[in-house]
Chain A
Amino acid sequence: MIEIDHITKRYGETTVVDDVSMVIEPRTVTVIVGTSGSGKTTLLRMINRLVEPSSGTIRLDGIDNRSVPGHELRRSIGYAIQGNGLFPHRTVAQNIATVPALLGWDAARIKARVDELLALLQLDPAAFGPRYPHELSGGQQQRVGVARALAAEPNVLLMDEPFGALDPIIRTKAQEDLLAIQKRFGTTIILVTHDMEEAVHLGDRIAVMDAGKLVQYATPADILANPASDFVETLIGASDRPFKLLSLGTVGDAVEPGPAAGEGIRAGASQRDALAELLWSGRPAMPVTGENGAALGRVTVEGLVKRAARPQ
């Protein structure tokens, strides 16, 4: 659990982060959203003390994060940034081994961990380990950046716009990978982005920041249904709201009994994808199949449209 307690950061006269308090539950993904200059990155960097707050405290599992020296704290917290920040003079394997090496792990343990992470991120350890970062594509570099942040098995992973530099197709894939890794390791992830779409997709909870203040901190469904201010509403984008809401639910939750013809959809797909498919193929209903291929029922345009309405 991460408790952010009345945190304020001032640079001279300007207040960048203004009295922010929030509690982040363990093993969840929290997304901090805001425009440029909203203080979201500064807030993130105060958790691992890359920035020291002017006042207030941050506690990790009840312990003040100022109770250990900054560099030791940072070794226990994963940190991934936009543009990945890989060390160009070190191989992929050496990059991933950065924190374990600082912690003094023995060579065999480091190698095992590096290979595990590379395999997990679908990079062949034998082929990619000895390469240098400039020999990789942008998407591969980003994955190595994530692997490096996770190398020392941190409980908390901080990510600053980690997908900002990726093209849309690779970004979607990277987001899926991140969610899978989060499920596997149970890491608490705090991610900063300016993209509400990404926030709704990834976050268990979303913190919206504006001009240094925490404007709203709630679940994605809650933020979509009850935006706390005009600013939050603008950030969501009014025309997209129903579709973002649909993207939160799976087809499995929208299944109705009854038959339907034509090609089916998996129960794990999002309701937004189901609606899109129905509208595109001009059908009123389509069959739903479980992960094992069994028929579960159908989804209908009518049923999905009802679910897209503002929750009461």
Chain B
Amino acid sequence: MRAWLPLLLRLCLLALLVAFLSNPLWFEPLLRPLTQNGAPAVYNQGSLLSLALLHLRTVAIATAAAIVVAVALAILVTRPIGAEFLPLSRSLVNIGQTFPPVAVLALAVPAVGFGEKPTLIALFLYGLLPIFENTLTGLTTTPPSIVEAARGAGMTGWQRLTKVELPLCLPVMLAGIRLSVVISLATATIGSTVAAKTLGEVIIAGLQSNNLAFVLQGGLIVAALAVLIYDALSALERMAARRMGQVA
């Protein structure tokens, strides 16, 4: 009975989220007390559902690009041929993380204009570090006896990478992706300051019109999405790890 409780709670959260996104007016009585002077309680300048989907799309594109670049970089610097690029790659990825996304937005807008593009650049740079570092850790901590066995069996360098090293570092890599996704989900909201269509629009509209109900519903949707995606990726990670006999 106990073991089912977390799953049940998550299913309730998911149901609540879906209900709110598809029929926000149902929840109007709950949000009404948060408004003043007869301001609207439910966001009325666009569909919450389509904003949520656009928000997810932005995060998905940025994370996918970050995965490709970070994993490719991690693979490159763990091969003998690219080992000398390790310090350089580390610095580049670290700069991406230390640069505040707001600053990236400010710098990117003059170059690529308003809209989704500057947000994608900011999220991409911000998401690189966890994926890169975790993939690097996974690739460098593969047990030597297993790599040795793969060489001894006559695998080529490429076969060792694709058949042994990458599958073995999958759980650690997934953990990096999970961190990156959750950070991006939250950070994407500031993309709306440069006219990207994300849930940040709701929050910003609330702040501008002093409408607590808007701020709260925008924030809660992002939070619910983050919690659900975090848990789903954690479950995926545990599945991958359990197959390898690791205790997750």
> Which A residues fall within an 8 A CB radius of B?
48, 50, 71-76, 79, 81-89, 98-99, 102, 132-135, 148, 158
Chain B: interface secondary structure? helix
- Alpha-carbon distance A83/B148, docked complex (angstroms): 11
Give how many B residues have a beta carbon under 8 Å from the other chain's beta carbons. 20
B-chain residues with CB within 8 Å of residue A158 when the two chains form the complex: 152
Contact B146 A87 (CB under 8 A): yes
Residue in A closest to B168 when the chains form the complex, CB atoms? A89
Q: Please report the C-alpha to C-alpha distance between residue A86 and residue B168 in the assembled complex, in whole angstroms.
A: 12
For the complex formed, measure the closest distance between the CB of B73 and the CB atoms of chain A, giving whole angstroms. Answer: 23
Q: A132-B243, A134-B245, A135-B245 are in contact. Are A88 and B153 (CB under 8 A)?
A: no
Are B149 and A89 in contact, CB atoms less than 8 angstroms apart?
Answer: no
Interface string of B162-173 (1 = CB under 8 A from A): 001001100000
Q: Pick from A74, A83, A86: contact of B154, CB below 8 A.
A: A74
Whether B167 contacts A74 by the Cβ 8 Å rule is: no
0/1 interface trace, chain B 141-168, chain A, CB 8 Å (1 if under):
0010110111111111001000010011
Please tell me if B7 contacts chain A, counting CB pairs below 8 Å: no
Judged by a CB distance under 8 angstroms, whether B244 is at the interface is yes
Bound: A85/B155 CA distance, A: 14
With both chains docked as a complex, state the minimum distance between the C-beta of A141 and any C-beta of chain B, in angstroms.
Answer: 11
Chain B residues numbered 196-248 whose CB sits less than 8 Å from any CB in chain A: 243-246
- State in angstroms the CA–CA spacing of A145 and B79 once bound together: 27
Given A132-B243, A134-B245, A85–B148 Cβ distance below 8 Å? yes
**Is A81 a contact partner of B152 (Cβ separation < 8 A)?**
yes
Do B148 and A81 touch across chains, with their CB atoms under 8 A apart? yes
Q: How far is the CB of B146 from chain A (nearest CB, A)?
A: 5
Q: In the bound complex, do residue B152 and residue A50 qualify as a contact, i.e. CB atoms below 8 Å apart?
A: yes
CB-nearest residue of chain A relative to B151?
A50
Find out whether the CB atom of A71 lies under 8 angstroms from the CB atom of B152: no
Give the A-B contact count at a CB cut-off of 8 A. 67
Q: Is the CB of B151 within 8 A of A74?
A: yes
Task: Tell me which residues across on chain B come within 8 A of A50, comparing CB atoms.
Answer: 148, 151-152
A84 vs B153: C-alpha distance when bound (angstroms): 12
> Are B168 and A79 closer than 8 Å at their CB atoms?
no
Contact mask for chain B residues 98-114; partner A; CB cutoff 8 A; 1 contact, 0 none: 00000000000000000
Whether B146 and A71, one on each chain, are in contact in the complex, defined by CB atoms closer than 8 angstroms, is no
Chain A residue at minimal CB-CB distance from B150: A87
Q: Find out whether the CB atom of B153 lies under 8 angstroms from the CB atom of A74.
A: yes
Complex alpha-carbon distance, A84 and B151, angstroms: 13
Complex: chain B residue closest to A72, CB-CB: B154
A98 to B150, CA, bound (A): 9
Which 4 pairs from chain A and chain B are nearest by CB? Answer: A134-B245, A85-B149, A75-B154, A79-B152
Q: Does B168 contact A88, Cβ atoms closer than 8 Å? A: yes
Contact (A102, B167) CB under 8 Å given A79-B149, A87-B149: no
Nearest CB in chain B to that of A135: its residue? B245
Q: Sample 16 A-B pairs with CB under 8 A, ordered by A number.
A: A71-B154, A71-B156, A72-B154, A74-B151, A74-B154, A75-B153, A76-B154, A81-B145, A84-B145, A85-B145, A85-B146, A86-B149, A88-B244, A98-B153, A102-B155, A148-B153
Cβ of B149 and Cβ of A102 under 8 Å apart?
no
Q: Chain A contacts of B168 at CB under 8 A?
A: 87-89
Extra A-B contacts (5), CB below 8 Å, given A73-B154, A102-B154: A76-B154, A81-B149, A88-B246, A98-B153, A99-B154
Shortest Cβ gap from B198 to chain A (Å): 37
Cα A158 to Cα B153 in complex, Å, equals 11
A114 to B: closest C-beta gap in Å: 15
Instruction: Please report the C-alpha to C-alpha distance between residue A280 and residue B135 in the assembled complex, in whole angstroms.
Output: 61
Docked Cα-Cα span, A82 to B144, in Å, equals 12
A71 and B155 within 8 A (CB): yes
B-side contacts of A72, CB under 8 Å? 154
Q: A73 vs B148: C-alpha distance in the bound complex, in angstroms?
A: 15
B92 to chain A, nearest CB (A): 31
